Copies of this chain bind each other. A is one copy, B any other.
Amino acid sequence: MAKARRFVPIVLRVAAAAAAGVAAIVMATSDQTTTVFGVEVQAKFQYMPPLVYFVVANVIACAYSLLALVVPTAPSAAARLVLVADVVVGMLLTGAAASATAISVLGKNGNSHAGWPPICGIMGAFCDHATGALACGFVAVALHFLLLVHSIYTMNSS
């Protein structure tokens, strides 16, 4: 039981780091160039600030998750500090996934009230790439949440 208690957070951290890393890589490589009415247009994640934030946040979360693996959490004070850092990273990942989703849904549906046309009809490959990255981002959020729940339920109860 004690062995499983040590094993679960390691698996969750590695999985969360992998999901965040893949999310960042897939988003950072989303790039499409196409021709519309004879004019060459390009879609890049750098053109959308929330997608840049998504990449940066997921890189930070990936690096943090790997670093946290080597932090000794045996003393109670260290465990609490890591838990606070986990909360910060969880909120960072959630904010990144939420803002990137807001822009991606706008790219797919547009907003007629604001005069913002959808772009996914023209930039289908770019949108598919971004959707894949978002899916990985939400997996990272879910794994990070499970890690938080595990930490809350095991802290000081061993």
Contacts and interface: CB of A to CB of B under 8 A. Distances in A.
State the number of copies, please.
2
A49 B105 contact: yes
The binding surface of chain A is classed by DSSP as helix
A153 B149 CA distance: 16
A111 interface: yes
A115 B107 CA distance: 11
Interface in A111-140: 111, 113-117, 119
A58 interface: no
B84 A149 contact: yes
A76 B43 CA distance: 52
A47 interface: yes
Contact of A91 (B48, B91, B156): B91
10 contacts: A47-B114, A80-B153, A84-B148, A87-B90, A90-B90, A96-B98, A102-B103, A107-B114, A116-B117, A155-B155
